[in-house]
Amino acid sequence: MEFKLNETNIILTKKNTELNHHFGKIKGPIFIGRTWKEYLKMFNLNSDDMVGGKLLDCAAGASSFTAEMSKRGYDVKAVDILYNEEADVLCDKCYEHMEVLVDGLESVDHFVWSFFSDLHDLKEQRNHACSEFIQDYRNHRKRYIAADLTHLPFEDNSFKIVLCSHLLFIYDHRLDYEFHLKSIKEMLRVSSSELRIYPLVKNRGMKSEFVKRIINDLHDVDADIVKVDYEFRKGGNEMIKIRK
Ligand SMILES: C[S@@+](CC[C@H](N)C(=O)[O-])C[C@H]1O[C@@H](n2cnc3c(N)ncnc32)[C@H](O)[C@@H]1O
């Protein structure tokens, strides 16, 4: 299956903030990945959440969540618009984008250094996540599905919990409201129980204005903003939990 990267998919190509100045060097989606330990904290996930149903990581990038949770016996799949690329291409992209990201972080101070001790630690942990992802992507390709968030190739109610980290809300200056609403409705369609999205803030710890609008525009669901035990971007210690 092929996807065209249109203006909606291409994020952060404009130099509109200090950090985006660095991200501006990246053409197309930023392809990096957080560690599975970050995922557990960002989404308040425990083993009760993860047993008894499948999990789906949406816009999963090079995260090690699917690889590591699969090793632990959980049933996890990952979706990303770039999963039609070969492993070598994604590997190069990930290391290249990490360099740009780390360069960018050096010049800004709106990050909390608790999960990571410093930039070196961040780079090491994230690069490790990337290598875990690449190995799993090579060996278990069927876990990784190429798709756009607005058109997921799954039946209704296929997954117990759907997760989405670092695509929605955070890039609300590049991804419009319609994309947010459509993606969220689509992720809810394939979930039998709930959708969790993290973070709710964009640059400088400001909460995205789309959060309130989304809560108002969704019907027949319960949406709660929940505190989490993870904060790297200042103010980024909340997720939204949307239950069907
Ligand atoms: C910043 S990365 C976040 C990766 C991972 N979720 C994490 O938190 O570490 C954003 C990811 O979203 C993917 N992406 C961008 N637009 C997308 C879309 N329309 N549908 C699916 N994935 C998309 C990119 O390819 C990239 O891997």
Number of residues in the chain:
244
Q: Residue 195 to residues 22, 57, 206: CA-CA distances in angstroms?
A: 31, 10, 22
Could you tell me if 219 and 190 are in contact, meaning their C-beta atoms sit under 8 angstroms apart? no
Q: How many CB atoms lie within 10 A of CB 60?
A: 29
Closest CA to 39 of 145, 168, 196: 196
Among protein residues, the one with the nearest Cα to ligand 1's atom 6 is: 60
Q: From the alpha carbon of 164, which atom of ligand 1 is closest?
A: 6
Answer whether 236 contacts ligand 1 (Cβ < 6 A). Answer: no
Beta bridge partners of 226: 239
Residue in 65, 81, 164 to alter for ligand 1 test, most ligand atoms within 8 A of Cβ: 81
Can you list the domains of the chain with their CATH numbers? 20-243 (3.40.50.150)
User: Distance between CA atoms of 242 and 124, rounded to whole angstroms?
Assistant: 33
User: Distance between CA atoms of 202 and 169, rounded to whole angstroms?
Assistant: 7
Sequential pLDDT tens for the chain (244 residues) = 333 333 334 343 333 344 444 445 566 678 999 999 999 999 999 999 999 999 999 999 999 999 999 999 999 999 999 999 999 999 999 999 998 888 877 666 788 999 999 999 999 999 999 999 999 999 999 999 999 999 999 999 999 999 999 999 999 988 999 999 999 999 999 999 999 999 999 877 899 999 999 999 999 999 999 999 999 998 999 999 999 9
Could you tell me if 149 and 79 are in contact, meaning their C-beta atoms sit under 8 angstroms apart? yes
Measured N-to-C along each axis, helices 210-217 and 177-190 cross at an angle, to the nearest 10 degrees, of 50
Q: From the alpha carbon of 129, which atom of ligand 1 is closest?
A: 9
